[in-house]
Amino acid sequence: SATAAEASTSAFASGAAASGDLSAPRFPSAAECAMQVRAYHEMSNEVLLLLAANGDHGARTERFVREVMHVDKLEWVDAAQTVADITFKVGDGGFNLWLGRALGLAASAAGFAVVPMIFDLGTALEFNAHYVSADVPVYKDLETALEVGAWTWNWMEPPLGTVSFILLCLQWARQQRASTDGPYTAFRKRRRAQALLRAYPQYNAMILRHWSDSLCSEESVDGDALHVLDSSQRRERLRRLSAGPAAASSAI
Maximum Cα interatomic distance, the chain, rounded to a whole number of Å: 103
pLDDT at 213: 84
Distance CA 170, CA 168 (A): 5
Residue 104's pLDDT is what? 75
Confidence of residue 248 (pLDDT cuts 50, 70, 90): very low
Q: What percent of the chain has pLDDT over 90?
A: 32
Nearest to 227 by CA among 24, 61, 29, 63: 61
Question: Residue 9: what pLDDT?
Answer: 52
Residues 101, 103, 108, 109, Cα dihedral to 10°: 110
Task: Name, in order, each residue with C-beta under 8 angstroms of 13's C-beta and a sequence gap of 6 or more.
Answer: none
When pLDDT is averaged across residues 139-147 and rounded to a whole number, the result is: 91
Q: Give the pLDDT confidence score for residue 236 in this predicted structure.
A: 60
**pLDDT, greater one: 248 or 61:** 61
Nearest-angstrom CA–CA distance, 98 and 174: 16
Q: What is the pLDDT of residue 103?
A: 74
Which of 22-26, 190-194, 242-246 has the largest mean confidence?
190-194
How close are the terminal C-alpha atoms of the chain, in Å?
22
What is the DSSP annotation of 105-166? HHHHHHHHHHHHHHH-HHHHHHHIIIII-PPPPPGGGSSSHHHHHHHHHHHHHHHHHHHHHH
Q: Which is higher by pLDDT, 52 or 191?
A: 52
Give mean pLDDT, residues 27-44. 90
Question: What's the chain's average pLDDT?
Answer: 77
